[in-house]
A and B are shown apart, each in its own frame.
Chain A
Amino acid sequence: MTVLLAQAAPQATGAASLAWLLIALPAAGALVLFLAGRRADGWGHWLGVATVLASFAVGVSIFVETLGLAADDRLREQSLWSWMSSGALSVDFGIRLDPLSLTFVLLITGVGTLIHLYSVGYMSHDPNRRRFFAQLNLFVAAMLVLVLGNNFVMLYLGWEGVGLASYLLIGFFQDRPSAATAAKKAFIMNRVGDVGLAIAIFLLWLELGTLQYTEVFARIGEVPGGTVPAITLLLLLGACGKSGQFPLQSWLPDAMEGPTPVSALIHAATMVTAGVYLIARSSPIYDLSETGRLVVSLIGVVTLMIGAIIGCAYDDIKKVLAYSTVSQIGYMILAVGLGPAGYALGILHLLTHGFFKAGLFLGAGSVMHAMNDDVDMRRFGGLWKKMPVTFVTFGLGYLALIGFPFLSGYFSKDAIIEAAFAQEGWQGWLFGGLATLAAGLTGFYMTRLMLMTFFGEERWRQVPSTDGREYHPHESPATMTVPMVVLAFGSVFAGWILYGMLPGWLAPSVGERVEAEGGVLPHAVIPWLVVGVSLLGVLLAYLFVGRSRVPVERPQRVSPVVRAARADLGANAFNERFLERPGLRLTRFLMYVDDRGIDGLVNGTAAAFGGGSGRLRRLQTGFVRSYALSMLGGGVLIVAAMLAVRFA
């Protein structure tokens, strides 16, 4: 079956020949909304919803058609036009339809539609709603280019496209300096990763002379041994940037400055998963490098711990969820780093996570909507009575996330931990152990979030609102609750449905799943262990938060661990101390050299000529007799010179 990875693909026919519409529809929506200006204020948001919904419909029809094909025929391509052709380099704008890209298409357009719909309600009071939908559409289009492209250049195009769209969306509230800062931070940290991706693509081009997936994967064996690990590590750097993985994770929580639907769409369901997609897509390359895969798993496991630890210390509901996302994507990266045993599991967790994390973010948005945009959980409490739909859907997402048995997250996370424990020796203990520990921490911080938000005393009655209005918690309108309900269904059933089907469905794209065997712990023990540790986390959270009073003001006397976690484990401080400030100093030095050295040389030459000319100009006195004298002098000089030559 893996032969499909490398084979030349047949041209798409039938419904698949409409694949270009997948990208074209949201792109056209974005274009119309950007160009129409204020005229579109009345209907622009519905256009935004409609284009993504139509794209979803096209995706479903292609998916259904593909299901009808034999597994070996499920890779099809549609070449749209020759994008660039220069010397030996020729890149087509081509679409690759295979199980992996179709999976992402359904996730992106499906969850995207729900979030667009939700945004209609959530952003109803925002005067710039049209611009918001234009940017959301642009984002969806870019993400679809990323997953549908049939070569690395299109991947890069989409990669940069989602970077741009997320920059615009994080900085959507243009009147907030913090949003502008967060947008810049996200953009720049992504750029650091993008450099890695770009160099990896250059290396592939240098070694193989092609960037088409099919050709690259068919000929990857020709690349010399030392270059393959380099390519895998550089691809990983790109993935770290986009997916908020260690050491480039600190932009993701700051990105919560954007409107909440953005957090749900970009920072839970789509953009941050691009790194996982990249590694799964490049699976033939990773299969050749043990080192590369090991580093991927290490990065994943480090990140999932960092995310889980920091998640325990925040009081900002969206930031807890953001760090939870960092942590969950760590699971996915860990999984795809495990190789053929984990590619499908990584994608499985990505899908289930797309459902329940998007649902959780939308729920958080609903809570904020009810609480005058407050995000501090210490000021919430007892909200379950006021907003039952939000509470139930959020609760289901919560249960799915902590891996409550037989909900979505249970299937995917548990499978990843099993695969991690199935590694031999220290790797099994390290990956499996930390992944289990993080599951416990997930139980802790998510339970803490639930208890502080929905249970306990109604602390919002005790404090004045941050914006001066009184709190009147209320349920959100239907445009917001309907998507939450749909996503809650996904949180409950997605894992159960997908667990059996997905690995087989994805086999043509990422290879047949190798069942994990052996390992450091017997298989039957692991689910009990994981659930046990998670419940322990839940219990601890109940003891710390549920049974005692939650102070409205954040306690200052805390243990060093909490203090470190509140400071993002020093990530920002490290970045500032070792990267930002030296970078600034280098820039200042270079600017000095540029100003005084290079500009000095150029301007100095110009000034010398200018000044000299100014002085020479004085010779033009306008007096006829002085000109006559100089003519005479010249004549005398010439005669003298001629005489000297004659008689010398």
Chain B
Amino acid sequence: MTPEYYLLLSALLFAIGAVGVLVRRNAVVVFMCIELMLNAVNLSLVTFSRIHGDLNGQVMALFVMVVAACEVVVGLAIITAIFRTRQSSSVDDANLLKY
């Protein structure tokens, strides 16, 4: 199996994730879509690692996982806090930082 298929899958997953971020309002779903995009990136990093025959890509993927884990912790906390105050988890309702 050639590595290109992994890259195509990665691109597909990234696109699905991106569309999800753009079209869904529920903050939790948006978060899951971001996770999807991150995993797509991880997949392509691992694939490239394989293609080049070194470990750089895999190390990068590990970093991405760590950062993603931190992000989820902070992000979920924020979403919970927003939900508590506004009774809504829609990202469009939280537009206080406009002009």
Contact = CB atoms under 8 A, between A and B. Distances in A.
A623 B94 CA distance: 7
A629 interface: yes
A624 B18 contact: no
B5 interface: no
B1 interface: no
Contact of B95 (A617, A618, A623): A623
A585 interface: no
A88 interface: no
A625 B98 contact: no
Interface string A442-483: 000000000000000000000000000000000000000000
Contacts of A637: none
A622 B97 contact: yes
Interface residues of A, number: 11
Contact of B98 (A622, A628, A629): A622
B43 interface: no
A82 interface: no
Interface string B33-61: 00000000000000000000000000000
A617 B92 contact: no
Contact of A623 (B18, B21, B23, B92): B92
A624 B23 CA distance: 11
A580 to B, nearest CB: 55
B91 interface: yes
Interface string B70-99: 000000000000000000000110111111
B13 interface: no
Contact of A625 (B92, B97, B99): B92
A617 B22 contact: no
Nearest to A620: B99
B84 to A, nearest CB: 18
B22 A621 contact: no
A628 B25 CA distance: 12
A629 B95 contact: no
Interface in A592-648: 617-618, 620-625, 628-629, 632
Interface in A488-525: none
Given A623-B92, A624-B30, A624-B91, A629 B99 contact: no
B98 A632 contact: no
A178 to B, nearest CB: 60
A625 B92 CA distance: 8
Given A628-B21, A628-B22, A632-B22, A621 B91 contact: no
Contacts of A622: 94-99
9 contacts: A622-B98, A622-B99, A623-B92, A623-B95, A624-B94, A624-B95, A625-B21, A625-B25, A632-B18
Interface of A: 617-618, 620-625, 628-629, 632
Given A622-B99, A623-B92, 17 more contacts: A617-B99, A618-B99, A620-B97, A621-B95, A621-B98, A621-B99, A622-B94, A622-B98, A623-B95, A624-B30, A624-B91, A625-B22, A625-B23, A625-B30, A625-B91, A628-B22, A632-B18
